[in-house]
Amino acid sequence: EVQLVESGGGLVQPGRSLRLSCTASGFTFGDYAMSWFRQAPGKGLEWVGFIRSKAYGGTTEYAASVKGRFTISRDDSKSIAYLQMNSLKTEDTAVYYCSKVVAATSGIFDYWGQGTLVTVSS
Amino acid sequence: DIQMTQSPSSLSASVGDRVTITCQASQDISNYLNWYQQKPGKAPKLLIYDASNLETGVPSRFSGSGSGTDFTFTISSLQPEDIATYYCQQYDNLPLSFGQGTRLEIK
- Give the pLDDT confidence of A69-103 residue by residue, as tens digits: 999 999 999 999 999 999 999 999 999 999 999 88
pLDDT digits (tens, 9 = 90+) for B58-96: 999 999 999 999 999 999 999 999 999 999 999 999 999
- Between CA B24 and CA A87, with CA A63 as vertex, the angle to 5 degrees is 145
Contacts of B50 in chain A (CB under 8 A): 108
For chain B, the maximum distance between any two Cα atoms, rounded to a whole number of angstroms, is 38
For chains A and B, CB pairs below 8 A equal: 50
pLDDT digits (tens, 9 = 90+) for B12-34: 999 999 999 999 999 999 999 99
B5: nearest Cα among B70, B77, B94: B70
Structure confidence at residue A100 (pLDDT): 96
Would you say B102 and B6 are in contact if contact means Cβ atoms under 8 Å apart?
yes
Continuous segment of H or E residues that includes residue A61: strand A60-62
Q: What is the rounded CA–CA span in Å between residue B44 and residue B47?
A: 9
B54 touches chain A (CB under 8 A): no
Would you say B4 and B23 are in contact if contact means Cβ atoms under 8 Å apart?
yes
